[in-house]
Amino acid sequence: MRPRPKSNTVSGILALTVLALAAGVVLMTNVDSNVRAASGGDEKSARGWRLGEAVTYENLTVFPVYASQQADTSGFATLDEALASGDAVVTEQGSYIRRTRDGGGGSNPYGSYASAQVNQLVLINRGKRPLLLLAGEVVSGGKQDRIIGKDRIVPIGAEPLPLSVFCVEHGRWNGGSDKFQAAGTIVHPSVREKAAVDQSQTQVWAAVRGAAPMNSARTGSATAAGAPPTVSRNDVDAAIASNAPTMSYKQIYESPRVGRSVEELAGQLQRRFEQAAKQHDVVGVVVAFGGEVAWSDIFASSALFETYWPKLLRSYAVEALSRPATRETASVDDARDFLRPSSGRVREETEPGVYRWRERTEGPASEIELEALDPKPVTLHWLKVLRAS
């Protein structure tokens, strides 16, 4: 019996070799493109974001962030709109417990606590949409104005939620109404950082008053050589004495002495931003103060970004005014580097079927991601901060 020809076998091996080599080329091409994107060698970031041209006024620079693909975020309500419509109710913890006990309306989810607590409120979502909360959002009323402690989502029909907050009105512990209203305000980054990252009431109070120290190792000679801040510690003290004796954050930055500067800077930058960012797919910004890129807020959709943008812009303006003035500006390469994902220590909290909160810390940088899990996983908000201390 003659041996079978080997030509078919050899041809098959060659074909498989060619396919393997081709697959390897495709794989290496994909890996290479991902590495370029993550390292800033490509215009797009590793998440598919791309940066627009810098928009600068005085020592504040914002880089628009664009996204070719967006999520439908219409199924989520923001805190301001829910409080305004009555779909959400925020009240002092003790007040809610007394009404529940006296009215016989259900169980007490707070154990033996029956009095108001500085760092605890109660939130009820009565609306038909999940409620999105961002760290640093101000609610006014009750015994003291407070800010939300961290990003989270409150689902439809949830039990009354014990809500972690921080006080931004040192000195008042009384009020005519137990309910809170939307302030239309988010605290500036130096304060927001102390709530979102440090989770410290003492540091929140210090930052509100302007006592949080700048890190000279990060700010370098540009800060040392820069002109004094437009809004100084003396300005804040004067505003507290005349307009906000209880150190109410909202009243401090609405005072004539401070608020006029904030509105002018925010207005000037907004006009420039509208001209530069004419596309309708802006989903966030990377923010620099002087030559230092220090902050970023990015959302799942342009609609969600536009909702938060007015109060975010004013918060950046407050921060810029409280930092030394300098002619140095950050470059788009600096902003692109800032968008690179961190690779440090990870801390995660999850409410099954509702949201996942993830914090990643690497050196002085911290990034926080809030991911909605229902109806499908989507990152609603991505925050990155270069910590000030």
For residue 248, which of 172, 317, 190 has the smallest C-alpha distance?
172
Q: Are 251 and 243 in contact (CB under 8 A)?
A: yes
pLDDT of residue 108: 42
The H or E element that residue 365 is part of is: strand 365-372
CA dihedral 294, 299, 304, 309 (to 10 degrees): 10
Sign of torsion over alpha carbons 247, 251, 256, 257:
positive
Average pLDDT for consecutive 10-residue bins of the chain (389 residues)? 46 44 40 34 64 94 94 96 95 62 44 56 95 94 87 94 85 68 90 90 82 38 54 64 60 76 92 85 95 97 96 93 85 94 91 97 95 95 88
pLDDT of residue 243: 56
Place of tokens 């797009």: 44
pLDDT of residue 281: 87
The whole-angstrom separation of Cα 94 and Cα 84 is 23
The whole-angstrom separation of Cα 328 and Cα 215 is 18
Beta bridge partners of 147: 138, 166
First and final C-alpha spacing in the chain: 85
Token output for 347: 């801390």
**Cα atoms found within 13 Å of the Cα of residue 170, Cβ hemisphere only:** 12
pLDDT of residue 366: 95
pLDDT of residue 95: 58
For residue 322, which of 59, 138, 56 has the smallest C-alpha distance?
59
Cis peptide before 324 (omega within 30 of 0): no
Other CB atoms within 10 Å distance of the CB of residue 352: 8
Place of tokens 């009105």: 169
Q: Strand 292-299 relative to strand 282-289: parallel, antiparallel, unpaired?
A: antiparallel
